[in-house]
Structure 1
Amino acid sequence: MSGTALSIPTTTTLADGTTFPLIGFGTSSMKGVEGARAVESAVRSGYRLIDTAAQYGNEAAVGEGVRASGVDPDEVLVTTKIAGGDQGREAAREGFLGSLRRLGLERTALVLIHWPNPSRGLALETWRALIDLKEEGTALHIGVSNFRPEQLQELIDATGVTPEVNQIQLSPALQRPEAVAFHREHGIVTQAWGPLGGREGLAEQFALRKVARKHGVDPSQVSLRWAIDQDIVVIPKSTNPQRQLDNASLESIALDDEDRSLLASLDLGEESAWDSREHEEW
């Protein structure tokens, strides 16, 4: 990380011991020139984990932003995801090859199944496709997104291969303790999307603002610190260069037991998270 503006903490909890940034950069809704510039800014600042997806329609912009940053692409860990319409063993392979073309990469650091989409019944075959891609070296690491513990267990039982990452909706407003515990038990890295809890109105909650005032920081920084203290990877997103820096500048924040108790009161419960047994994205 030498020569960058940020010093982003890493965790070695990927199954094979690979170091992995605890703070990455989310890109959903960032498209075109603006999206490419946001990614370029983030990478120049020191982000080394960039999250995208076929479904976001911005892989070309993400790839352009990485190249424009001047940083060696091999140093940037790009994550993409298999869209619901590309599920199935052959379709997932073709979908992933399309992602590589749009990104302008020969391989990605991580590829995930975006949603289980149980009505299609293709999650297992899609997982087998990802196993193939890892064996071939075009995907260095493989995982899933929005899978519940029982959906993860199905993949593990059928293939003997455990996803390395599960990216789920998680923030102080949706703490997902059962999922996090399952991931820890099975050596799966928990990655949080929506770590600032926008849909849940988290930023306006009194308990969060009280902790932020105590530490003299922004509420969003408290939410992110709370997550990475648990070795949960976060992928906040912003097109604002200063906000990008703020989201990854958490070294001065040391949450104590009183803070954690206040933040625990914000959890809305598992039933408030999107349920991947019913919610599907194509």
Structure 2
Amino acid sequence: MTEVPFFTAHNGFRMPAIGLGTYRLNGDAGAAAVTAAIALGYRLIDSAFNYENEGAVGAGIAASDVDRSDLIVTTKLPGRHHESARARVSIEESRYRLGLDATDLHLIHWPNPARDLYAQAWQALVDAQQRGTVRQIGVSNFLPEHLDRIERESGVRPVTNQIEVHPYFPQEDAVRLHAQRGILTVAWSPLGRAGELLAEPVIVDIASTHGITPAQTVLAWHAARGTVSIPKASSAAHQRANLAAAAVVLSPGEVEAITGLGRPDGRLFNADPAHHQEL
């Protein structure tokens, strides 16, 4: 089984460098994929209320023979549930759907700043953590000003910020800021535009040097930067290959060369957290 490195947040919370993304892993097939991933060695499983698969993820976890305490199960609070009372119910519903005594890591999915309720949503997570129904709390797609506000108003700093990160959009400033504050960066869509990205000559050359695939090269780049990646994979072959990437060590020069692929228009779609609304 691959030895996966762990990264540590400001409060001692530890996350493995690679987890399983579950977007579009639904129903029986999704549950089976989750069970198979856990058997292969995955210990971080990432879901969300809006993925409409918390039930499948929970069923996959329940079918696993790995001790529950060894797993980190993440889910996310949707934008339409930011108001305090609705947030509390949403947090409870996610736990019931997952079939867990507590969610290990609960995030605000997007800040939705135009609605300006994310501070209420954050306080609801703080309260849930105090009640013991959520173990760790974090955010997703938050900008520095959003991070500053919730910590200032609540006195509680998130353990993670899950953001878009891939070689076309390396987010150097955000990753650096998070590291300074002890906030773990979790990369969604870590392979970006996989078809185009994985054909980049610099990635192909580095992959050839290490005898690995271009996808493994990108995942190793994330790990080298201290960023947790959560690639989605339904097949055992892809799950195994992704997990194995955690053991690959790239040189600083190789990491820099891949980071150099960043583009001003590198986002996958027009989802700037300063304006994007997710409900």
1:1-282 to structure 2, matched below 5 A, reads 5-11=1-7, 13-198=8-193, 201-250=196-245, 253-269=248-264, 272=267, 274-282=271-279
Q: In 1, distance between residues paired with 2:252 and 2:116?
A: 44
Cα drift, residue 142 of structure 1: 0.2
Q: How big is each residue's C-alpha offset from its partner over 1:117-146, in whole Å with a ceiling of 9 and x where there is no partner?
A: 112111000000010011111111000000
How many pairs align? 277
Which whole-Å CA distance do the structure 1 matches of 2:65 and 2:49 have between them?
Answer: 24
Question: Bigger relative contact order, structure 1 or 2, given CA contacts below 8 A and separation 6+?
Answer: 2
Letter in 1 for 2:15: F
Residues 63, 102 of structure 1: 8 Å contact kept: yes
Taking the aligned partners of 1:21 and 1:163, their CA distance within structure 2 comes to 17
More displaced 10-residue stretch of structure 1: 209-218 or 197-206: 197-206
Classify the secondary structure of the residue corresponding to 1:173: coil
More displaced 10-residue stretch of structure 1: 46-55 or 146-155: 146-155
Answer yes or no: is the 8 Å Cα contact 1:6–1:47 preserved in 2.
no
Cα distance in 2 for residues equivalent to 1:9 and 1:36: 26
Asked if the contact 2:4/2:247 (under 8 Å) is kept, the reply is: no
Give the gaps of 5 or more residues in structure 2: none
Q: Offset of 1:10 from its aligned partner?
A: 1.3
Distance 1:238 1:32 in 2: 15
Gaps of at least 5 residues in structure 1 are none
The range that moved more, 196-205 or 89-98, is: 196-205
Query: Once the 2 structures are TM-superposed, how far is the Cα of residue 15 of structure 1 from its aligned partner?
Result: 2.1
Question: Quick one: percent identity of the two aligned structures?
Answer: 39
One-letter amino acid of the structure 1 residue matched with residue 2 of structure 2: L
Whether the aligned pair in 2 keeps the contact of 1:54 and 1:82 (CA below 8 Å) is: yes
Q: CA deviation at 1:217?
A: 0.7
User: How far off is 1:186 after superposition?
Assistant: 1.3
Deviations 1:104-127 (A, max 9, x none): 111011000000011211100000
1:201 offset after TM fit, Å? 2.9
| CA displacement 1:170-215 (0-9 Å, x = unmatched) | 0122110111111112111111111111378311222211211121
SS in 2 for 1:112: strand
Q: Provide TM-score, normalisation by structure 1.
A: 0.94
Conserved 8 A contact 2:18-2:246: no
Q: Is the 8 A contact 2:77 2:87 kept in 1?
A: yes
